[in-house]
Structure 1
C-alpha cells in the first residue's frame, strides 16, 4: 500500500567538503534499501562556486580542512541526528597530515558525536587491505592531487606496513565533473602492475565506485576506493547485516573485530 519513503533502518552520516557532491552520490549508489545517507558540509577553501578547483590542489587548504573548529562543529551538528556511524570523507588530509594524525582526528571528532563512531577514509582503506591480506598495493590518486601529495599518500600506506608497487595521479582531466568511468577503467587497467595484490583509488571526490566490479573482473585482484571502504567500515560499525553486491569483494569480508568505537 505504502510507497518507499527513503527512511533508513541504518543511517550513515558523511562529513564532506562543502562543494563536493561525490561522497554522498557514491554512498547512495552503494546503499540498498534500508540504508540512508545524511551529509553535512564542511568548508574547504580550495573550492570556488560551482565546485571548481585549481587543476592541482594545494597542501595548505587540505591540511586546514582537518583543523578545528569547523569540522568538529559539523560533526556535532550531524551527530544530533539519530545516526549509527559518521564518515570523515576526505582522503587527502590524511595523506598530508599522516596516519598518527588520523587517530587523533578520530578521537577528537568522537568527543563531539555523542558516542557515534567516526570512520576516517584512509584508515578504513588500511583496515580493508589487512582484511584482504593484500600487502602489495597499486595506489591511484585523483588527477588534481600533486605528485608530492600522491607521494605523501604512498608514505601513509608504507608506514602502515604495505609495499606500494605503483602510485601516481591518474592521467585524466583535472576536473571532478569530467571523470568518466570508461576512461578511469582504462587508465587503472593499463597502469596496475602484475605484482599488485590490490588497487586503492584515493580521493573521496574521485568518481570511482562504478568501475570497481569491472576492474576486479579484469585484473583479478581486489579494487578499493575511498568511499567504498568508508561505507564498508561504517556498515560494520553500525551493526548492519545488509548484503552489498557489484561494488567490490571487500563487502564479502568482515574483520575479526569491528568494535573499534
Structure 2
C-alpha cells in the first residue's frame, strides 16, 4: 500500500510571528523556533548593527553609539515595514540594549514612530514584553543578567529602565562569561545564574537576544524556586498573546512558568 502522507512543509502554520534582528545574529530565530510549536512559524528581517562583524564577532564590550543608531530611522522603520507586508499575526523586535539607552519615554516614542509602518499588526520587544511578563508573574523584585558584551554603564541603564516602571532591581550586571555568543552554553549560564540566587528575586531576566538561554529556564526554575525569564522566551510569549493565540502560548510547557500565564492587558 502506498503511503500518501506528505511530510510537513511549514505552510500550515496557523500563527506567523515576525522578528527584526541584527544582521549577524542567529540567536533570536534559533530560540524562537525551538520554543514554538509546529503551529507557529517565525520570519525574520535583518538590519545592520555596527557593533557586529561578519560571523557574529563583536568587541569584548559593545560601544553605545551603534546601540542607539540601531533604532534610529530610516533602517529600522524600513525593516519593520517590509516585514509587516508579509501575512503575519504579530511583530517583535529581537534586541534589548536599545531600550536601555532610550529609557521609558524614548521607547514609547519608538513604538509610536513605528505604528504607521506596522500595517496595524501588534508589535512588542524584549523590555516591553519583560515588563508584561513580570506583571503576569506577580514579580516585583527582579534581577537582570545581561550579556558579557554589555558594559557596566549599559547594564546600569537597563536597571534604571526597569526602575522607571516601579520594579525593585535587586541585582544587575553583565554575566562573567566569555564575550562570545558561541562560547555561552546552558551549563555555564546556569552556573552564573545560580550565583545571584542569594539576592532572592521574584524573577530573573536573562537579557540580550543573542545570548543562549532558553535551555536553562525549566531546570533552573525547578532548582532555584524563582521565575526565569529570557529575552527570546518573553518576546515569543508576548507576541503570541498579542496575536490572539493565547491557547497556543498556554500550551507550551517546556520553557518556564511564564507560558502558564497571560498578560494583564493587551497593550502591556
For normalisation by structure 1, the TM-score amounts to 0.97
CA distance in 2, matches of 1:153, 1:194: 18
Contact 1:106–1:120 (CA under 8 A) maintained in structure 2: no
Which runs of no fewer than 5 residues in structure 2 stay unpaired? none
Contact 2:238–2:263 (CA under 8 A) maintained in structure 1: no
1:245 aligned partner: 253
1:150 aligned partner: 155
SS in 1 for 2:28: helix
1:213 aligned partner: 218
1:48 paired with 2:56, answer no
Equivalent runs, 1:87-98 vs 2, <5 Å: 87-98=92-103
- Structure 1 window deviating more from structure 2 (19-28 vs 237-246): it is 237-246
Residues 19-52 of structure 1: per-residue CA shift (max 9 Å, x gap) = 0000010000000011000000011011111110
Contact 2:28–2:94 (CA under 8 A) maintained in structure 1: yes
Contact 2:49–2:70 (CA under 8 A) maintained in structure 1: yes
For normalisation by structure 2, the TM-score amounts to 0.95
SS in 2 for 1:37: strand
2:80 aligned partner: 75
CA distance in 1, matches of 2:212, 2:200: 25
1:59 paired with 2:67, answer no
Contact 1:189–1:218 (CA under 8 A) maintained in structure 2: no
- RMSD, aligned CA: 1.1
Match of 1:236 among 241, 246, 266: 241
Which runs of no fewer than 5 residues in structure 1 stay unpaired? none
CA distance in 2, matches of 1:29, 1:255: 22
Deviation for aligned residue 1:131: 1.1
Alignment length (residue pairs)? 260
1:37 aligned partner: 42
CA distance in 2, matches of 1:4, 1:126: 36
Contact 2:68–2:102 (CA under 8 A) maintained in structure 1: yes
Match of 1:128 among 133, 145, 154: 133
